[in-house]
């Protein structure tokens, strides 16, 4: 990958989160001039500073909903990675306007600031829940995608390259199922699973961020880069975690019960990564699909036309699922178990 980050000033919103902090860690190896970590949690800044010691890091306490603060943070920036978001489906359902403020209005604040300051590249982190959304979180992330991809069309003579990266669940990230399973095993409680049929896409955080950086180098005009991910049944993941971790806490895996709790409001049983409409204008690399912005057609831009029917079923239900042996192998490779 071409090093587009050397000697650049880079802004990472949500830079203390699971994805944002890994973006910061990987960017440091590319010799940037400075990395501005934009994060509203003071304690999160403190914890990350204890973990990462670098004179290239600048800690900016701020909220993407504060347009003035965003404008100040953007001054002199070359590249933006926008990872700040409300991400938890139940919390977004219960606090819908806060999700709108952060995921939609906050994204617009950043896009406006990037245009004003003539940022070179703007990469926004999205989610599979933005595809045919059934939740507040998914709907707000979909509109966040639209804001970013439309900015690539409506920027006029602006030089900023806008793009999104869309992927599914990140293994062992904050609020994900693996830490929940581990806590339940440790406490001696039943392991809660939404449904024995639930499926999800999963990827290690290091792999996801590596492809985010690769996508940022490829970004041109409003693309959505979709990372190719492994699909699995959540019940299989739970059983692997129980089999591995229960003995560490002095428990027999056979005595651990599984409690089926049902879908939460807004939650899907299976997750698609691509819609049928999107797949019409898609190209492909070894590790990602690239959705090209169909709005470009009205400006006479020729887009690739996809004719591969199988990508229309890029859904966690339809894709081959990792068996328990492969799941265990993946978790060991990522040092999660």
User: Of 33, 56, 116, 129, which is the active-site residue?
Assistant: 129
Q: Which residue has the tokens 């403190």?
A: 46
Distance set, CA 236 to CA 2, 155, 185, 225 (Å): 39, 46, 16, 28
Report the largest interatomic distance among the alpha carbons of the chain, rounded to a whole angstrom: 66
DSSP 8-state assignment for residue 272: B
CA distance 159 to 151: 11
Q: For residue 59, give the 3-state DSSP assignment.
A: strand
CA distance 292 to 300: 14
CA distance 76 to 9: 7
The neighbour count for residue 321, using CB atoms within 10 Å, is 16
Bridge partners for 226 per DSSP: 166, 289
Task: Look at the alpha carbons of 118, 87, 236, 334 in this order and tell me if their dihedral is positive or negative.
Answer: positive
- What single string gives the DSSP state of each residue in 199-254? EEEEE-HHHHHHHHHHHHHH--SS-EEEE--EEEEHHHHHHHHHHHHGGGGT--GG
CA distance 30 to 133: 36
Give the full edge-to-edge strand order of the sheet including 199-203. Answer: 169-170, 199-203, 230-233
Asked about 324 being catalytic, the answer comes back as no
CA distance 183 to 204: 20
Active site residues: 129
């Amino acid at each position: 990958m071409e090093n587009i980050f050397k000697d650049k000033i880079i802004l990472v919103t949500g830079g203390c989160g699971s994805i944002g902090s890994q973006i910061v860690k990987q960017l440091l190896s590319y010799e940037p001039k400075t990395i501005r970590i934009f994060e509203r949690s003071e304690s999160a800044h403190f914890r990350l500073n204890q973990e990462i010691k670098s004179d290239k890091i600048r800690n900016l306490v701020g909220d993407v909903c504060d347009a003035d603060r965003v404008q100040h943070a953007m001054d002199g920036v070359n590249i933006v990675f926008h990872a700040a978001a409300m991400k938890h489906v139940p919390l977004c359902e219960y606090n819908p306007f806060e999700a709108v403020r952060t995921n939609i209005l906050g994204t617009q604040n950043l896009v406006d600031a990037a245009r004003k300051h003539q940022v070179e590249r703007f990469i926004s982190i999205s989610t599979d829940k933005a595809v045919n959304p059934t939740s507040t979180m998914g709907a707000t992330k979909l509109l966040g995608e639209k804001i970013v991809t439309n900015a690539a069309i409506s920027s006029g003579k602006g030089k900023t390259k806008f793009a999104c990266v869309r992927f599914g669940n990140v293994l062992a990230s904050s609020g994900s199922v693996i830490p929940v399973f581990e806590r339940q095993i440790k406490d001696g409680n039943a392991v809660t699973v939404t449904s024995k049929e639930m499926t999800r896409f999963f990827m290690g955080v290091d792999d996801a961020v590596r492809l985010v950086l690769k996508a940022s180098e490829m970004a041109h005009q409003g693309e959505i880069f979709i990372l190719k991910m492994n699909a699995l049944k959540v019940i299989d993941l739970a059983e692997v975690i129980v089999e591995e971790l229960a003995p560490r806490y002095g428990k027999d895996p056979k005595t651990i019960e599984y409690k089926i709790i049902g879908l939460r409001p807004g939650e899907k049983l299976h997750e698609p990564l691509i819609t049928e409409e999107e797949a019409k204008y898609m190209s492909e690399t070894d590790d990602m699909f690239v959705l090209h912005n169909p709005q470009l057609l009205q400006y006479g831009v020729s887009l690739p036309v996809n004719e591969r029917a199988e990508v229309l079923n890029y859904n966690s239900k339809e894709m081959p699922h990792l068996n328990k042996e492969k799941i265990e192998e993946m978790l060991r490779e990522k040092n999660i178990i």
